[in-house]
Amino acid sequence: MIQPDRVVQTTCPYCGVGCQIDLHVKDGLLYRVNGRFDSPVNRGNLCVKGRFGFDFIHAPDRLTAPLLRHDRGEPFAARHATTWDAALDHVAGRLRAIRDAHGPDSIAFLLSAKCTNEENYLVQKLARAVVGTHNVDHCARL
């Protein structure tokens, strides 16, 4: 049997049940998941997604660099990778320009039911306290 470098307890990313899982890691790769028996939520059980669906994290098409495009018609493959500094300066500059020209309510933020509480909290705070708009929603009503 493979000996893991690390076993990390975490929460299944798929559905709202929130099963507790152990991730087994070897050489930086996630290779096995098992359910935690000490969790009152799943008592060691997992469904097929939780047990076997984790390999998306190593999918070959993961984004690995910020991408910018120059004009609208440009195909996705033609976009060029850039640095975080360049990308975020660009985003901040454009958001500021649009807010100045059209007001804060011309900007909208869509949060995510897949991201953490901390991330959702921070983006809505960015929208409300920094940009100054309540145009904040997520796709969970869908």
CB of 86 closer than 8 Å to CB of 80:
no
Greatest Cα pair distance in the chain: 62
Residues 29-88 that bind another protein (CB under 8 A): 29-30, 38-42, 45-50, 52-57, 59, 61-69, 75-77, 79, 83-84, 87-88
Amino acid residing at 141: R
Which residue's CB is nearer to ligand SF4, number 46 or number 127? Answer: 46
Span 18-47, contacts to ligand SF4 by CB under 6 A: 18-19, 42, 46-47
Tokens encoding 136: 């904040």
Q: State the nearest-atom distance from the C-beta of 38 to another protein, in Å.
A: 8
Residue placing its CB nearer to ligand SF4 in the complex, 15 or 130: 15
Which CB, 18 or 132, lies closer to ligand SF4? 18
- With 0-12 / 13-18 / 19 or more C-beta atoms within 10 angstroms meaning exposed / middle / buried, residue 50 is buried
Contact letters for ligand SF4, residues 49-78 (x by CB under 6 A):
xx----------------------------
Supply the minimum distance, in Å, between the C-beta of residue 27 and ligand SF4: 25
Nearer to ligand SF4, 17 or 92 (CB): 17
Q: What is the DSSP letter of 96?
A: H
Q: Which of 65, 70, 109 is nearest to 84 (CA)?
A: 65
Kind and range of the H or E run holding 21: strand 20-26
Residues at the interface with ligand SF4 (CB under 6 A): 12, 14-15, 17-19, 42, 46-47, 49-50
